[in-house]
Amino acid sequence: MKILANDGISQSGVDALQNEGFEVITTKVAQVQLENFINEHQIDAILVRSATQIRQELIDACPSIKLIGRGGVGMDNIDVDYAINQGIHVINTPKASSNSVAELVFAHLFGMVRFLHQSNREMPLEGDSRFKDLKKAYALGSELRGKKIGIIGFGRIGQEVAKKAIGLGMEVIANDHFLESAPITIDFFNGQKITITVEMSDLDTLLKESDFISLHVPVQENYVIGHEEILKMKTGVGLINAARGGVVDEMALIKAIEKNKIKFAGLDVFEKEPNPEIQLLMNPELSLTPHIGAATIEAQDRIGTELASQIIKLLKE
């Protein structure tokens, strides 16, 4: 059987599949050429990340496809229901990247509260001539300990964010439409563990009380954070979006930053990927990364092996 890993797969995943007799093709095929490539090579399974779109038209045009795999959590780039109705297996790896995304959330948070996103821009340019001025400008950072973090969407990634926040001594305020509470178990290096139950709060309470807000929800029909939600936030709040582009109204965000309602924001995802709005790219109050939440060596390895084990079970066993 032939598997096209169009957005890549870890070597551990390749090895696991090849050991079971699968042929793994890691050639990156452009979206417009995908239909011809799949049909020409009689591809049995296609693995994607967020870059490749698997829509109804492609599914109809490629009858050899038996399985679609998404390396990661969100599957908004795949017509999942339609594929399943056509008898195609659709899989993803919801656990594999949770820790990596959560760590990136705190990379943005730590950077912003100590102005690293700004000082890293200015020190190379003016560190030799304005050292004392820059020291004074960036000497009013704050600590995360004792602050409140609001987590919108309390699935696997949101709960990983909560674990790290609790470990830092932060108070967690969580909101999720599908949960009333969730046990958060923190494992320590020596084998000990503690479990803390987090009760869900309503969204208004979260918006009003949080010092920092982090989003972990799939794409919605409307913005989760727009102008009205921003008005309910504390003045000086910090916002992180490492979920999906389109859950935050980016223009409302820019206006809120200009009015000092939001102090700073960290964005890993954008409404217009791969061409983010220039207002975002040029704003000094934004900490920006190019959609790398799940892109760690460890997460990619877990994603590859998890995809491989599911494929082997579904297509061979």
- Separation of alpha carbons 31 and 224, rounded Å: 30
- Separation of alpha carbons 253 and 262, rounded Å: 8
**Which listed residue (49, 291, 302, 306) is catalytic?**
291
Count H helices and E strands in the chain, helices first: 13, 13
**Which listed residue (49, 70, 244, 302) is catalytic?**
244
* 291 tagged catalytic: yes
Q: Taking a C-beta distance cutoff of 8 angstroms, is the pair 185, 194 a contact?
A: yes
* 228 tagged catalytic: no
- Separation of alpha carbons 268 and 215, rounded Å: 11
Instruction: Kindly provide the residue ranges of all beta strands, DSSP E only, lying in the chain, ordered along the sequence.
Output: 2-5, 23-25, 45-48, 67-70, 89-92, 148-152, 171-175, 181-187, 193-199, 212-215, 237-241, 262-267, 286-288
* 244 tagged catalytic: yes
**Which listed residue (103, 171, 273, 277) is catalytic?**
273
Tokens of 261: 């309602």
- Separation of alpha carbons 270 and 224, rounded Å: 14
Q: Which residues belong to the active site?
A: 244, 273, 291
